[in-house]
Structure 1
Amino acid sequence: MHTTHTLRRATTALLTAAALGLAPAALADTGHQGPSWRATWAASPQQPTAPFEPNWSQQGFDNHTLRQVVRVTTGGTRTRIELTNRYGSTPLRITGATVARTEKGSAVRPGSVRPLRFDGRPSVTIPAGGTLRSDAADLPVEAFGSVTVTLYLAGETGPATFHHFSSATSYRADGDHRADLSGTAFRESSASWYYLSGVEVTGGRDSGSPGSARRNGVVTFGDSITDGVGSTANTDHRYPDELAERLAAAGRARAVVNHGIAGNQVVNDTSWAGEKALKRFRQDVLTEPGVRTVIILEGINDIGGSGTDAPMPPTPEVSADRLIAGHRALIREARSRGLKVIGATLTPIKGSFYYSPANEAKRDAVNEWIRTSGAYDAVVDFDRAVADPADPDRMLRAYDSGDALHPNDAGYTAMAGAVDLDEL
């Protein structure tokens, strides 16, 4: 089974490289001859939109330098990035790019700036719909260290593929400032990520033997509660971040990458919250290198999204049975690639704009199925981890960010604490 899987990935990578007009080296290493890459940070791409507050996705960039700061969850001796133009309507020209260790804000650490190359070239064009990885940069990084990726976009990009809710600050400057150490030129900021969809590492203590495929990483897949809505910005208190820290503290360090999208649904596409999970799971989760386990927490937007009280356009009503069928499809997809798949119960909604007796009945039915059906390889009960014992349909006040739907930092810590580390 493992040999078939490896050949399938290698064939897919070669075909994709041909379609992009790139050498295979620009994509993931799929065999056992080269370095073994591991995903250490990720963000799921979305089409340009501005549902709640302004961002840069719809107008894109023109003679701008874009600087983005991310925190990796495992270390390595070499680093590379993944860039995506998945939702672009025209080719995307990256004039140049660097990667560095973060100093503070938009500043980078002296001596750490490394120019990035793409199949040996300093510039690259990503076709509309395409995704590619850079060549390896000799930049060692430590677990929970911050990495700054800087892109210079000399020409008009058109609308930008992005990740709407980052819970982190990105920066923009006019002109070419890709090698700047200071952040002085970066006078604009945004709470989204643009084009950057992954950071990967190789080497280091977690790499295993040379050329081996060390697969112990975890993907957390879901909606805003995986994405970290309600957590404090620039503090990395999303539940996946807290889970990675808990694993490291227990002597079980491994990568935990976040593929949540705020507002995302299992069975409905939306114009503002990404393609439905049933579509994006294959592109977002199954392409990640070094992953062994996926935790799925999704469905509350399917249940509540058809209501008129929610602050977003309504979507078609979804029954509990249809939502469960969607979960079964995700389980099959994960197992087809040899992943262990853990189901997470849906957290409380009483007091939120999603609550109604009918929606609560759906949530209860889906949670009962997750807990008792045996469909998942294991279950993490996030519902009970954050519920008020005196009113189990409601989130405990100490864990509530204020909207009775999204946890705060303490709530995300409680969620991470509910995961049985042995199941990972």
Structure 2
Amino acid sequence: MSSPETRNPLLTPTGAASPTAAAPSAATPATTGTVWHGAWTAAVMRPSGAPWFETWAEQGFSDQSVRQVVRVNTGGTKVRIRLSNAYGTTPLHLTGAGIGRTAAGAAVQPGTIRPLRFADSPSTTIPPGGHAVSDPVALPTKPRERLTITLYFKDATGPATYHQVSMTTTYRATGDHHRAAAATAFTDKVEPGFGSWYYLEGVETSGGHPQPDAVVAFGDSLTDGFGATIDGDDRYPDALAERLIAAGRPRPVLNAGIGSNKLLTDSACGGDAGISRFARDVLGRPHVGTVIVLIGINDIQLTDDRLCGVDRDDPPVTAQRLIDGYRTLIRAAHARGVRVVGATLTPYRGSAGWTAEGETIRDQVNRWIRTSGEYDAVADFDRALDPAGTGRIPDGLHMADHIHPSPAGYRAMADAIDLASLGQ
């Protein structure tokens, strides 16, 4: 992990081993003439012990099948997956993998499972810091459909590159069950828990109707969806995707949120700083047209990393330092022709981390977001969740902790976005 005063890889090239740089692929199939679009994504993290709930990241997997469910936001005739060993320190050996349409729980619809191959091999080895892209398989998909990906690891993986808070149940079975439609073997899951995704970084589709460029939602737990319904897919990016479909303008919406993430500093259990991972998690996705930036409240309310068990204070946060960080993201996005929507920081009065000093910084940042004109457009999530301007999220719109929205709160956030501001 980098020092607390995080480097800025958006402006300074990094080495190939860095997870923010273009890491080597274990298997990248030839795709000449084929246009791939991001249908689903997860921002990956270094393995760590979560302070809130159990995960399998630190122990990894050995002679086990991992079954993961995702909801795609674009359709097509073919599909492929992206796997990441970005934070691995040893080669990752994947013995077998499959994909199919989700039935219920860990079950897959019979007849829909497609074995996944990598450079025409059923297995692959991903080097430390590397990635792998599966060969395309014919599996027609449509927006908001759920797909199940099963990965089988015969050999011990060691600690796993993962995404901590998926709000989706992940299942585990002993032995090789990556071709099994039945849920019978998948008796192991974290219970109770908020779920995690392991090694899975993206699902992409091609074919079918032409697709517009993707919208990437970038941020912390309010984008990741903490407080949403487990297995309900009702985070704000989900609600935005459904609004676009209802409006007759379906478009891929990719969720690049990480719970506890900060804009300016790394966190042991909250991921690399936003300015460090923006290049990978936003600009590195295929055909991105717009990014919605909602990040900074953790810089304000979490002034150290002790939540993650690390005895370290972050550098003092000011409104100007946050604004400088946003400007870095805006410059990087504009250099790639990506439109940037700035989201105001949402209320958190009444939560454990609220202070009067922090509220002053939040107000200063929100004033700049609304009035500076430096973003291409503004999504006023602050007013969406607190129309009366009280500095509090009303009961019913938060999950009883005064900072994380409830499903109704996430819907209010999505409804506050002017669809025309997303471009195209």
Change over 3 Å in CA distance of 1:399–1:164 after alignment to 2: same
Residue in 1 that maps onto 2:132 = 132
In structure 2, distance between residues paired with 1:296 and 1:283:
15
In structure 1, distance between residues paired with 2:326 and 2:275:
9
> Structure 1 residues 392-401 or 81-90, which shifts more?
392-401
Contact kept, 8 Å, 1:222 with 1:296, in 2: the verdict is yes
In structure 1, distance between residues paired with 2:98 and 2:305:
45
Equivalent of residue 263 in structure 1, options 245, 260, 265: 260
Equivalent of residue 217 in structure 1, options 197, 211, 214: 214
SS at match of 2:138: coil
Contact kept, 8 Å, 1:206 with 1:254, in 2: the verdict is no
CA RMSD of aligned residues (A): 1.7
Contact kept, 8 Å, 2:84 with 2:161, in 1: the verdict is yes
Structure 1, residues 246-300: CA drift from partner, whole Å, max 9, x if none?
0000001010000000000011111110000111000111111122100000000
SS at match of 2:342: strand
SS at match of 1:77: strand
Give the partner amino acid of 2:33. Answer: G
Give the partner amino acid of 1:387. Answer: D
In structure 2, distance between residues paired with 1:95 and 1:309:
38
2:236 corresponds to 1:232: no
SS at match of 1:148: strand
Structure 1 residue 398 displacement after superposition: 2.2
Residue in 2 that maps onto 1:422 = 420
Structure 1, residues 211-250: CA drift from partner, whole Å, max 9, x if none?
xxxx421000000000001111100010000000000000
Give the % identical residues. Answer: 49
SS at match of 1:416: helix
Structure 1 residue 121 displacement after superposition: 1.0
SS at match of 1:266: coil
Please report the TM-score for the alignment, with normalisation by the length of structure 1.
Answer: 0.90
Aligned length: 395
Residue in 2 that maps onto 1:172 = 172
> Structure 1 residues 166-175 or 391-400, which shifts more?
391-400
Matches within 5 A, 1:38-187: 38-50=37-49, 51-187=51-187
Matches within 5 A, 1:251-290: 251-290=248-287
Structure 1 residue 74 displacement after superposition: 1.2
Q: Which runs of 4+ in 1 moved over 3 A?
A: 19-22, 307-316
Contact kept, 8 Å, 2:26 with 2:133, in 1: the verdict is no
Structure 1 residue 205 displacement after superposition: 2.1
Structure 1 residue 206 displacement after superposition: 3.6
Contact kept, 8 Å, 1:307 with 1:354, in 2: the verdict is no
In structure 2, distance between residues paired with 1:204 and 1:217:
16
In structure 2, distance between residues paired with 1:338 and 1:126:
31
Structure 1 residue 315 displacement after superposition: 3.4
Structure with the higher fraction of residues in helix conformation = 1
In structure 2, distance between residues paired with 1:308 and 1:162:
20
In structure 2, distance between residues paired with 1:247 and 1:367:
26
Give the partner amino acid of 1:293. Answer: T
Change over 3 Å in CA distance of 1:288–1:49 after alignment to 2: same
Structure 1 residue 142 displacement after superposition: 1.3
In structure 1, distance between residues paired with 2:90 and 2:200:
17
Contact kept, 8 Å, 1:264 with 1:277, in 2: the verdict is yes
Matches within 5 A, 1:16-35: 19-20=24-25, 22=27, 24-25=28-29, 29=31, 33-35=32-34
Change over 3 Å in CA distance of 1:310–1:304 after alignment to 2: farther
Contact kept, 8 Å, 1:96 with 1:123, in 2: the verdict is yes
Contact kept, 8 Å, 1:309 with 1:353, in 2: the verdict is no
Residue in 1 that maps onto 2:208 = 204
Residue in 2 that maps onto 1:407 = 405
Contact kept, 8 Å, 2:96 with 2:122, in 1: the verdict is yes
Change over 3 Å in CA distance of 1:312–1:379 after alignment to 2: farther
> Structure 1 residues 285-294 or 168-177, which shifts more?
285-294
Q: Structure 1 regions of 5+ residues with no counterpart?
A: 1-14, 208-214
SS at match of 1:395: coil
Give the partner amino acid of 2:203. Answer: V
